[in-house]
Amino acid sequence: MNSWIERQRHLIDFTLASLLRRKGRNLGLLTVYTLLVFVLASAMLYTHALRREATTILEGAPEIVLQRLVAGRHDLIPPGYVERIGRMRGVQEIRGRLWGYYYDSVVKANYTFMVPADGSVARGTIVVGPALARQRGLDPNTGISFRSYSGELFSFSVAAVLPQSSELASADLILINEDDFRAFFAYPSGHTTDIALSVANPAEVRNIAIKLSKLLPDSRPILREEMQRTYASLFDWREGIMLALLSASILAFAILAWEKASGLSADEKREIGILKAIGWETGDVIRMKLWEGGLISLTAFLLGFVGAYIHVFKFGAPLFAPVLKGWAVLYPHFTLMPVVDGLQLATLFFFTVFPYMAAVLVPIWRAAVTDPDAVMRS
């Protein structure tokens, strides 16, 4: 056992010396390899974290949202709709919601105004999202005025700023009192934007949606799981677009790695011949080259992945965020929860380390099985 360990130690020593002897070539390869893993891992980690964030946020959303449609467009819910739904088996709570969009010409951004269900915001005050607070320089107890669509100026005092943890969803959010909301948007009394329904049993959600469609044919039920799916496919699509854009560089790396790993130089072939002639077995030569390939690919994988982790979770992925996060004037400024998906990690490992090792192994095996007497004739 000790002799086996010593043998591996010698092989690693020789491998490290070999790597250092071809410093330029190996450093170049390591840099490109690391960059590739970094880019792929950044895209994967960021998209996965965004998907996770969206899912976490939607967990607090109602199971069904009912919207009324007029000529295929979203319209206000007139009074009496909540009552028409009445008591439905499986539905825990039904409530009309009030929300709308507002364009702020000062910062050229859209805000979402919303009336909280618990009515916790007092008249004349608002609670603002963190991105908006940053953009407009708002703190609790400062004031702000908005000109309504009718041209009238409304002034509010900021009661609080929403916590940073919810920023992905609340960056541009303004929570407002119901009366202020109706006055500001000239919203007809008794009308609501949509209806939110809470359903305890997930198996019942689809049945309830079918019942709602029959009961209110002019309305459209939107399920939470559909929203989750939409978000997931949106981020998947963005990731796909990015990977497609990167495919050229991935291909370039694949060609470079294949060329570097599989093309044995005359010097390397000569070295293999010498090693075999002085008593190294074919297996020793292959093991040594595997250590070499393994050291390069694992170092690149670790450096690239750790770099991507820091890039995404420490610095918020400045290189890819504009593409992956989506367009908005008020970019949410949030810190993603660090999550690493084991399967994703394994996939990345498989598609970066494995092909490289294969590219290393094939030509070495071919060179290592040649007769050692060739070195006598060189």
Partner 1 sequence: MIELRDVRKAFNQGQHNEYWALSGISLAIEAKQVTALRGPSGSGKTTLLTLIGCLARPTSGRVTLHGRDISGLPERFLTEIRRKTFGFVFQQFNLIKGLSAIENVMLPAYPTGRPHQELKRNAEALLEQLQLGHRRDARAEWLSGGEQQRVAIARALINDPEVLIADEPTANLDTALAKEFMAILESFGAEGRTVILTSHDPLVTESAVVARLVDMRDGKLVKS
Q: Could you list the residues that contact partner 1 (CB under 8 A)?
A: 2-7, 9-11, 13-14, 17-18, 20-21, 267, 270-271, 274-282, 284, 371-373, 375-378
**Toward partner 1, which CB reaches closer, 82 or 264?**
264
Closest separation in Å from C-beta 378 to partner 1: 6
Q: Collapse the DSSP code of 265 into the 3-class scheme (helix H, G, I; strand E, B; otherwise coil) and give the result.
A: coil
Closest separation in Å from C-beta 281 to partner 1: 5
**Toward partner 1, which CB reaches closer, 106 or 274?**
274
**Toward partner 1, which CB reaches closer, 244 or 278?**
278
Q: Which residues, other chains included, contact 234 with Cβ-Cβ below 8 Å and sequence gap of 6+?
A: 326
Residue ranges of the alpha helices (H) in 60-177? 81-85, 130-136, 167-170
**Toward partner 1, which CB reaches closer, 64 or 296?**
296
Neighbouring-strand partners of residue 102: 111
Closest separation in Å from C-beta 7 to partner 1: 4
- Structure-block tokens of residue 172: 């541009």
Closest separation in Å from C-beta 17 to partner 1: 6
With beta carbons less than 8 A apart as the criterion, state whether 157 and 142 touch: yes
Residue that is written with structure tokens 């407002």 in the block: 176
Q: Collapse the DSSP code of 317 into the 3-class scheme (helix H, G, I; strand E, B; otherwise coil) and give the result.
A: coil
**Toward partner 1, which CB reaches closer, 16 or 255?**
16
**Toward partner 1, which CB reaches closer, 75 or 268?**
268
**Toward partner 1, which CB reaches closer, 103 or 365?**
365
Cα gap 10→133, rounded to integer Å: 62
340-346, Cβ contacts within 8 angstroms, sequence gap of 24 or more: 340/45, 340/309, 341/48, 344/44, 344/45, 344/48, 345/305
Closest separation in Å from C-beta 237 to partner 1: 50
Cα gap 85→213, rounded to integer Å: 11
Closest separation in Å from C-beta 374 to partner 1: 9
Closest separation in Å from C-beta 28 to partner 1: 17
With beta carbons less than 8 A apart as the criterion, state whether 204 and 190 touch: no
Neighbouring-strand partners of residue 100: 113
Cα gap 176→76, rounded to integer Å: 18
Cα gap 31→304, rounded to integer Å: 9
**Toward partner 1, which CB reaches closer, 87 or 377?**
377
- Structure-block tokens of residue 107: 């910062």
Closest separation in Å from C-beta 289 to partner 1: 14
Closest separation in Å from C-beta 240 to partner 1: 45
Q: Collapse the DSSP code of 273 into the 3-class scheme (helix H, G, I; strand E, B; otherwise coil) and give the result.
A: helix
With beta carbons less than 8 A apart as the criterion, state whether 172 and 111 touch: yes
Q: Is 14 exposed, middle or buried (0-12, 13-18, 19+ CB in 10 A)?
A: middle
**Toward partner 1, which CB reaches closer, 194 or 271?**
271
